[in-house]
């Protein structure tokens, strides 16, 4: 009997931990806000471009990313539009980037249409997106926002000049 009582402290600790967990509402009774709603009633926001790009045809294969409208005018300083197809232009952009002194390509993602680069002390993506008028080439920071640094602007200008020929 004495041995069971000595081990009782461990049992008491486990029981106490269980009571604390149950009292904290971890099992749903204390859930509040949107998480308390049934799954089909919870709010979910998905950007329209992601829905279009992820839609598969009846055959089950995923189609190429949807062509999107040209970006708003306020990001024009960070990018430009070039006529042509994205995959062909992706290769040309890669050749131009490889020829720029001081630029390092950290990685390439042709499927995403992007190059991860370091230039003039800045790290950003050079991104190519199919738009109605061709391909939009831009510099994007790690958060997905237009890269506004001097290095990004200088690189976009160099790319625009090189691809205009």
Helix (H) or strand (E) holding 139: strand 134-140
- Say what the pLDDT of residue 32 is: 56
Count of alpha carbons within 13 Å of 15, Cβ hemisphere only? 6
As a whole number of angstroms, the distance between CA 154 and CA 124 comes to 12
Give CA–CA dist 113/92, Å, rounded: 12
pTM of the model: 0.54
Nearest Cα to Cα of residue 157 among 78, 81, 93: 78
Give, for 126, the enclosing helix (H) or strand (E).
strand 122-131
Least Cα distance to 114 among 83, 89, 78, 148 occurs for: 89
**Per-residue pLDDT, 165:** 73
Q: Report the candidate in 163, 156, 161 with the shortest Cα–Cα distance to residue 103.
A: 156
pLDDT at 122: 93
Range 73-163: architecture per CATH: 2-Layer Sandwich (3.30)
Domain residue ranges of the chain, discontinuous segments joined by +: 2-44, 73-163
Which residue, 75, 86, 79, 96, is CA-closest to 131? 86
pLDDT at 9: 74
pLDDT at residue number 108: 94
Q: Which residues contact 154 (CB under 8 A, 6 or more apart)?
A: 119, 120
Q: Backbone phi, then psi, for 61, in 5-degree steps?
A: -90, 150
Q: What is the model's pLDDT at position 69? A: 46
pLDDT in tens, the chain (165 residues): 455 445 567 667 776 676 666 665 555 554 555 556 666 655 555 566 565 555 545 554 444 444 444 444 333 468 999 999 999 999 999 999 999 999 999 999 999 999 999 999 999 999 999 999 899 999 998 888 899 899 999 999 999 999 987
């Amino acid at each position: 009997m004495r041995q069971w009582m000595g081990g009782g402290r461990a049992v008491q600790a486990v029981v106490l931990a269980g009571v604390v967990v149950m009292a904290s509402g971890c099992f749903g009774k204390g859930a509040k806000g949107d998480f308390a709603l049934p799954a089909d009633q919870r709010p979910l926001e998905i950007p329209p471009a992601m829905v279009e790009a992820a839609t598969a045809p009846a055959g089950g294969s995923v189609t190429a990313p949807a062509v999107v409208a040209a970006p708003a005018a306020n990001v024009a300083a960070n990018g430009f539009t070039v006529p042509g197809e994205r995959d062909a232009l992706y290769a040309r952009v890669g050749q131009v980037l490889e020829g720029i002194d001081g630029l390092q390509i950290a990685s390439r993602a042709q499927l995403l249409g992007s190059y991860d680069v370091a230039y003039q002390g800045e790290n950003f993506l050079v991104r190519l997106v199919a738009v109605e008028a061709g391909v939009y080439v831009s510099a994007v920071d790690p958060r997905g926002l237009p890269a506004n640094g001097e290095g990004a602007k200088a690189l976009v200008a160099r790319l625009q000049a090189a691809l205009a020929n």
